[in-house]
Amino acid sequence: MQTSRPAGTRLPAALYALTIGAFGIGTTEFVIMGLLLQVAADLQVGIAAAGLLISGYAMGVFVGAPLLTAATGRLPRKTALTALMVVFTLGNLACALAPDYATLMVARVLTSLAHGTFFGLGAVVATGLVAPDRKASAISIMFTGLTVATLLGVPAGAWLGLHFGWRSTFWAVSAIGVLATAVILWLVPADRQDRPAGLSLADEVKVLARPQVLLGLLATVVGFAGLFAVFTYIQPLLTRVSGFSEAAVSGILLVFGVGMIAGNLVGGRLADRWPVAALLASLLVLALVLLGMGWAVHRPVAAVVFTGLLGAAAFATVSPLQMRVLQKAEGAGQHLASSLNIAAFNLGNALGAWLGGRVIDQGSGLAAVTWVAALVTLLGLGVAALSVWLERPGGGVTPEVPAPGACLQADR
């Protein structure tokens, strides 16, 4: 059963409530990148160890997405989204108060538990609020909160961390969490339970037996891992290879954020019209930009330009990847599959951060992570291309039939 859609082209206020929630969550996910050197120095750990705070967060999303999706499956949407934002806010308060590295890692994981289910449920809700030909655009609008977080939240957090200590950044993010919770309570309408009567979690899990859903999830993990192999270490790359001061990093991250917003919106529009072409082209462009970063980081002006291109290329992939999984999970398993794809993005984040750290620790140099990142994203492109090839006539994949009682229908 579809959520009611407004007449005409005006977007519902609830969609913007999701965007604000996404802004809060996106800020806490990415802000650590601009604080990496300060956290490492204050807690007396190496850069690679500090980078694992990104991996820990991402792994928390990967584990938390299916667990909290199951736990909140019978709750009204408004109740579930509000509860998730409360978990997010408490986790950030714990980060601000963490006395040592281990406690900070645990607090980051606690914060991350709400992430996957919020974006997964939010993506399904967003597509149900708009006309069928605007589903990918609705997802991109919700994810605009994530991109604006990088444009404004991360540079502001880096500035706060530089001038008032990294803990002040997490206090500020906690305040954002309180605001986002209030906005969701205000704008998101009360709704029925998400899981139709008679539909069990086991019915939803059956979606994982679909080869195309699994290939879509794998394409997300591998395709997005290349971004975080580089972006996790963007602060030391810009300061130690490109030669920028620490104070200049927050300004350069603004360029990345502008690129994210542009790429996210363009990717959503392209995915509405040409979903397969947008999927393959966006991953190819991301791989090429990562390849170019290996040259650009040694040239300050080029480093700034390619930082913006990296944001645009990376987030142009988000809507096509998310829509791919939603389409192939059409039916009873959409909620779970949507959350799992958000988990897949974050598993890619964790793998990318870990891989980048391994390259650095083995003495290959900071700049070498860009070459490895490009190869990883090309592998993700290969997975996506395989998925598309298999669904061609005679390609070997049986057409997937939606389960009876589907609550939402994806675009074909």
Write out the DSSP string of 269-305.
Answer: HHHHH-HHHHHHHHHHHHHHHHHHHHHHTTSHHHHHH
Return the pLDDT at 218.
94
Q: Round to whole Å and give the CA distance between 268 and 273.
A: 9
Is residue 408 very low, low, confident or very high in pLDDT (cuts 50, 70, 90)? very low
The reply to whether 57 falls in a domain is: yes
CATH number at residue 166: 1.20.1250.20
Q: How many CA atoms lie within 13 A of 121 on its CB side?
A: 33
Q: Is the pLDDT of residue 336 over 80?
A: no
The reply to whether 407 falls in a domain is: no
Q: Round to whole Å and give the CA distance between 300 and 133.
A: 42
- Helix (H) / strand (E) element for 310: namely helix 300-316
How many residues are given for the chain? 412
Q: Round to whole Å and give the CA distance between 287 and 307.
A: 14
Q: Round to whole Å and give the CA distance between 281 and 97.
A: 44
Q: What is the pLDDT of residues 122-147, one digit of tens each?
A: 777 777 767 777 777 777 777 777 77
The reply to whether 4 falls in a domain is: no
Residues 6+ apart with CB under 8 A from 364: none
What does residue 193 show for φ and ψ, rounded to 5 degrees? Answer: -65, 150
Q: Round to whole Å and give the CA distance between 160 and 153.
A: 10
Q: Is the pLDDT of residue 1 over 50?
A: no
Only one residue has tokens 């694992």, namely 52
Return the pLDDT at 16.
80
The reply to whether 137 falls in a domain is: yes
Q: What is the pLDDT of residues 349-371, one digit of tens each?
A: 778 888 988 888 887 778 889 99
First-residue to last-residue Cα distance in the chain: 17
Q: How many domains does one find in the chain?
A: 1
The reply to whether 398 falls in a domain is: no
Q: Round to whole Å and give the CA distance between 352 and 369.
A: 10
Angle, to 10 degrees, between the axis of helix 334-361 and the axis of helix 211-231?
A: 40
The reply to whether 113 falls in a domain is: yes
The reply to whether 410 falls in a domain is: no
Whether 63 and 114 have beta carbons less than 8 Å apart is answered as no
Q: Round to whole Å and give the CA distance between 128 and 222.
A: 28
Q: Is the pLDDT of residue 395 over 70?
A: no
The tokens describing 22, both together, are: 């996404």
Q: Is the pLDDT of residue 119 over 70?
A: yes
Per-residue 3-state assignment (H helix, E strand, C coil) for 59-84: HHHHHHHHHHHHHCCCCEHHHHHHHH
The tokens describing 98, both together, are: 């963490």
Q: Round to whole Å and give the CA distance between 202 and 180.
A: 32
Q: Round to whole Å and give the CA distance between 29 and 40.
A: 17
Q: Give the DSSP letter of residue 3.
A: P
Name the residue with higher pLDDT: 8 or 136: 136
Whether 337 and 329 have beta carbons less than 8 Å apart is answered as yes
Chain-centroid distance, C-alpha 301: 28
Is residue 307 very low, low, confident or very high in pLDDT (cuts 50, 70, 90)? very high
Q: What is the pLDDT of residues 215-229, one digit of tens each?
A: 999 999 999 899 989
Q: What is the pLDDT of residues 30-89, one digit of tens each?
A: 788 778 888 888 888 887 788 788 778 878 887 887 788 777 767 777 788 888 889 999
Q: Rounded to whole angstroms, what are the CA distances from 364 to 226, 270, 356, 358, 371? A: 17, 38, 10, 9, 11
Return the pLDDT at 397.
52
Residues 6+ apart with CB under 8 A from 256: 150, 151, 231, 234, 307, 308, 310, 311
Is residue 396 very low, low, confident or very high in pLDDT (cuts 50, 70, 90)? low
Write out the DSSP string of 185-237.
Answer: HHHSPP--BSSPTT--HHHHHGGGG-HHHHHHHHHHHHHHHHHHHHHTTHHHI
Q: Round to whole Å and give the CA distance between 35 and 82.
A: 28
Q: Rounded to whole angstroms, what are the CA distances from 5 to 14, 15, 331, 333? A: 11, 11, 19, 22
Helix or strand or coil: residue 193? Answer: strand
Q: Round to whole Å and give the CA distance between 326 and 343.
A: 14
Q: Round to whole Å and give the CA distance between 270 and 136.
A: 9
In 317-401, where does DSSP find H-type helix? 318-328, 334-361, 368-390
Q: What is the pLDDT of residues 10-21, one digit of tens each?
A: 666 777 878 888
The domain containing residue 292 runs over which residues?
13-194+201-390
The reply to whether 206 falls in a domain is: yes
Q: Which of 9-18, 104-113, 174-183, 214-223 has the least mean pLDDT?
A: 9-18
Beta carbons within 10 angstroms of residue 133's beta carbon: 10
